[in-house]
Structure 1
Amino acid sequence: MELKKLLEGVEIRKITGETLKEITGITYHSKRMEKGFLFAALRGSEADGHQFVKEAIQRGAEAILLERGEELSPPTRIFVPNSRQALAQVASNFYGNPSSKITMVGVTGTNGKTTTTYLLESIFRKASHEVGVIGTINYRFRQKEMAALNTTPESLDLQRILSEMVSDGVSRVIMEVSSHGLDLDRVFGCQFDSVVFTNFTLDHLDYHKTLEHYFESKKKLFSDALMRSPKAGRFAVTNRDDPRGEDIVEGVSLPILRYGMSSTCDITAEQVTYAFEGLSCRIKTPKGSFSIQSKLIGGFNLYNILAAAATAIGMGLPLEVIKEGIEGLAGVSGRFEKVENRKGIHVIVDYAHTHDAMERVLLELKNILRHSSRKEGKLITVFGCGGDRDRTKRPLMGEVAGRYSDLTILTSDNPRTEDPLAIMEEAEKGFQSIPLEEWHAGELEEWRSKKGYLKVPDRREAIRTAIRLAQPLDTVLIAGKGHEDYQIVGKERLPFDDRMEARRALGER
């Protein structure tokens, strides 16, 4: 594509050099530079792309997109105030503005994004649409599936994936839009039809530093991305029951659908029942009511269902299709996922890696147990905290796990470059407010008599210990990693899957 056309819509401060030249590709990684490409110099958390401009030129860059540097040519240099926004627009132009050719739904929030996208995928499929999904677990469309390096891909990668989806006949795309992705302008220039807010709670303060910056990043999906989109029929969906549910849509001068358990919500639920087999309820909407029997478990999943139903209602889908889509979703990988067994023990693997998410899962488990034949059983929780991530949530997660569990087994998660024992020590501080008995290897026969905790740094051994200690009617929650099939130790990704380890441990009983 001609460089001049590639730069349409880009805010430019200055250009040095010729723009009537052909650009054959784009990259933001100097090692992937090929002759005839445009190189985008992006500022990152660990490296600054401006430091690699010289290398990109040596490798054959035809043009450089940058914020600062020497005003020389050749190659052509395009100086911009924000190279991330500029790359997003250039990438969209290069791939033919794919988001303008499909229906785009963005989902943001601290928890529930993945399940909401899965529900919408199921609903859209029941409506006979070809669907693409971009999110935490993977990027998928038709029979293709790609590993997700980030919940929301870098703008260049995102536009390429959207272009491939369009070429493959996809008509609807549902995307998890993370706060990082929004703050780093990865979805800048995407033309959304609808955006959805699930909930907001403490997370990612290692990156955002303050809760307000975290919230304002998420709000950009509504105030910026949705409002800038030129598409007709746009609308927003928000969780009215969340304390920030109205703040997120402040200033949005478009139709807003509100969901929640209040009678004032547009989409709500009544006659709700919860069990380990799933949930049932009657969903009320402006278009009428319908009953569902879902295999998803718990009140937090009811909110995800309402979010998906509200989005589908906004898109004019028939109630019967929405019902079939909700009921057709058997489950989501690593989200309150049951590990089936014949030992009489409920084993649940969940991605809960914030104190709020863990509290929701544990409260839901206790509520279900209270109304089931398992109310005499004990609740064992296995959890750890990620390294090189928000440290403020570690003691909060410890407090929540200790408060609602009969036995908490504190272990390692993805320690990354931190000392696993130091991470555990920070999480352990949360037990002090309860307080809990610390059990040691020789005292484990007594754990059923008093609430307490156990430290087992090796995650594999922690899972084995939990399942070995559990008796019929007990429930074991393995929290934090969910769908992940790896453990990050140092800079290495080692094979590790909580579900596989649980099955192995169950087989050893």
Structure 2
Amino acid sequence: METSAHEGADAQSMRPSRPVPHSVQELARLTGAELVPARSGAAGAVTGVVLNSREVQPGDLYAALPGARVHGARFAGDAAAAGAVAVLTDPEGARELAAAGVDLPVLVSPQPRTWVGPVARAVYDSQPQDGSGQELFAVTGTNGKTTTTYFTTSILRALGHTTGLIGTIEILAGDTPIPSHLTTPEAPHVHSLLALMRERGITATGMEVSSHALEFHRVDGVRYDVAGFTNLTQDHLDLHGSMAEYFEAKAQLFTAERTRRAVVVLSEDDPWGAAMAQRARENLGAENVTTVALRGSDAAGEPADWTLSSLERRGIGNAFRLRHTDGTELRVHTGLPGEFNVANAALAVLMVLDSGVAVETLQRALDEHDPLTTSVPGRMQLVGTAPTSLVDFAHNPDALVRSLRSVTPEDGEGRVIVVFGATGQRDTTKRPVMGRVAAEEADVVIVTDDDPHSEEPAPIREQVAAGAREAVANGARATDVLVIEPRATAIRTAVRMARPEDSIIVAGRGHETAQDFNGVSVPLDDRVELRSALEALHAHTKEQK
């Protein structure tokens, strides 16, 4: 569980100023853990919770958990020296603490990780029972989590809330970023962030909840007011093993322990939305589950509560109506392109509605503020026009299909050019699949590097390109499949090839600003490279005129 020193500094800056001190006896009762007193009899009040010994501040409970390579109990001496007043661990860790002579009270539980979140919730008072806490919104699913979270907080701001956001791109308290190098906050960080945001006057917070966060207990102890589900497509099978196990990981969010209400997107060609809606109904009660479908029903033909009653292109975005089975309608507009962003926008609107906002109040906010035209960094982010040029985070087959279809011209004029790669040390089975769908949906496919991590880059590129070439041989849409590296050169090549009526999507990395080549961080921001190439193109065009 040990991480870098700068992450420890970040965690210190994310703490609330008014924790609720708890005795070790109180925490033993909360967790049901066996309490082994310190030999000296000392037992200070617990005012913080950490998983990393380098984050310890005086008064902390140090959770010494088993890790992939080393048990956290090995660092308990460092934690004690830094001011920790107690340790939460398993029986193996307790034996190691005793052998090392660490003189702190020890809470011993067979599953200590499952108690880190509830203990942090109690100590940081992240969700007070007196109703003074903020409203919490969670979004899970394979694709669309980030955009839907941004949409949700944008609507909430239009309604007068001061909002917080905990996401993969950034952590925000109102308009103020909370600096962090923590790409995935652990349970103590989540609860301390929620408490800190409450201290700063945040009244509603949106949060992305990944399958990793659920599997690794990073959101334990958090109960959301509304949780939303976007979709489930192939991704992270290196962790979950199968789509069924991936589904079960996501389904953990839709229990009474974790959320009060649920909103689920249904799709005719995806059975997972219907399955999630049914699981949510079983766990939460049918009256606490809302479904929305763009085409009227789910894969089994079950009618949705809300459906799309109209859809029309407006600029690169879309205007549409949502119609409830009782006849209620909401008029909605999003400035982001693609039918998948219509689904993301609909989910965000209905999550806010299900939090208790009146339909008339919500409609007024949508009309007056156009909150769903908010920019989402690296998510179908428009960088330039003539050619239309976007950067998107699409890094799995389904997301790539959705992105490419969103820019396919309705009149048949103009080509679609895609620049993308595949990540190293991740699900290798999706690499040729991504090549295939790129060739099926784009006219020009440029395969390049994503983040190879510790893998050799060239074989990754070839696995992706092989899928594209096979698709072309079978009659796919693409006329060209190119393999170009480095990535910046691939982006410049795409821009030089493009005509004004064409569209370019640089996919896979979105907001990220560096590539990882075997531990070496190489600065590269797709948005910067694409913008620079477009500026050079336009300057050259002017010179020719």
Using structure 2 for the length normalisation, give the TM-score. Answer: 0.83
Q: Which residue of 2 aligns with 1:157?
A: 189
Q: Is the 8 A contact 1:152 1:176 kept in 2?
A: no
Residue among 443, 451, 455 paired with 1:418: 455
Q: Secondary structure at the match of 1:381?
A: strand
Structure 2: how far apart are the matches of 1:336 and 1:35?
45
Q: Which residue of 1 aligns with 2:207?
A: 175
Question: Is 1:21 paired with 2:44?
Answer: yes
Change beyond 3 A, Cα 1:113–1:469: same
Residue among 312, 327, 349 paired with 1:273: 312
Q: How does 1:344-423 map to 2 (within 5 A)?
A: 344-366=386-408, 369-371=409-411, 375-423=412-460
Change beyond 3 A, Cα 1:8–1:491: farther
Structure 2: how far apart are the matches of 1:281 and 1:19?
64
Structure 2: how far apart are the matches of 1:32 and 1:39?
9
* One-letter amino acid matched to 2:210: S
Q: How does 1:41-440 map to 2 (within 5 A)?
A: 41-45=64-68, 47-67=70-90, 68-71=92-95, 72=98, 74-98=103-127, 100=129, 101-146=133-178, 149=181, 152-223=184-255, 227-228=256-257, 234-241=260-267, 242-249=270-277, 250=279, 251-254=282-285, 255-263=288-296, 264-274=303-313, 276-285=315-324, 286=326, 288-323=328-363, 324-325=365-366, 327-330=370-373, 331-341=375-385, 344-366=386-408, 369-371=409-411, 375-435=412-472
Q: Secondary structure at the match of 1:221?
A: coil
* One-letter amino acid matched to 1:302: V
Range with greater deviation from structure 2 (268-277 or 214-223): 268-277
Using structure 1 for the length normalisation, give the TM-score. Answer: 0.89
> 1:190-230, CA deviations, whole angstroms, 9 ceiling, x for partnerless residues?
1221111110011112222322222111110013xxx125x
Q: Is the 8 A contact 2:49 2:120 kept in 1?
A: yes
Q: 1:149 offset after TM fit, Å?
A: 4.6
Range with greater deviation from structure 2 (82-91 or 321-330): 321-330
Q: Is the 8 A contact 2:234 2:243 kept in 1?
A: yes
Q: Which residue of 2 aligns with 1:12?
A: 33
Q: Secondary structure at the match of 2:349?
A: helix
Q: Which residue of 2 aligns with 1:441?
A: none
Q: 1:41 offset after TM fit, Å?
A: 1.5
Q: Is the 8 A contact 2:139 2:229 kept in 1?
A: yes
| Identity of matched residues, % | 33
RMSD value over aligned CA atoms? 2.4
Q: Secondary structure at the match of 1:50?
A: helix
Q: Which residue of 1 aligns with 2:3?
A: none
Range with greater deviation from structure 2 (94-103 or 479-488): 94-103
Q: Which residue of 1 aligns with 2:7?
A: none
Q: Is the 8 A contact 1:132 1:170 kept in 2?
A: yes
> 1:330-377, CA deviations, whole angstroms, 9 ceiling, x for partnerless residues?
231111111124xx21111111000110011112222xx024xxx221
Q: 1:413 offset after TM fit, Å?
A: 0.9
Residue among 24, 27, 50 paired with 1:3: 24
Q: 1:138 offset after TM fit, Å?
A: 0.8
Change beyond 3 A, Cα 1:50–1:33: same
Change beyond 3 A, Cα 1:147–1:401: farther
Residue among 479, 496, 503 paired with 1:451: 479
Range with greater deviation from structure 2 (59-68 or 472-481): 59-68
The size of the alignment, in residue pairs, is 485
* One-letter amino acid matched to 2:105: T
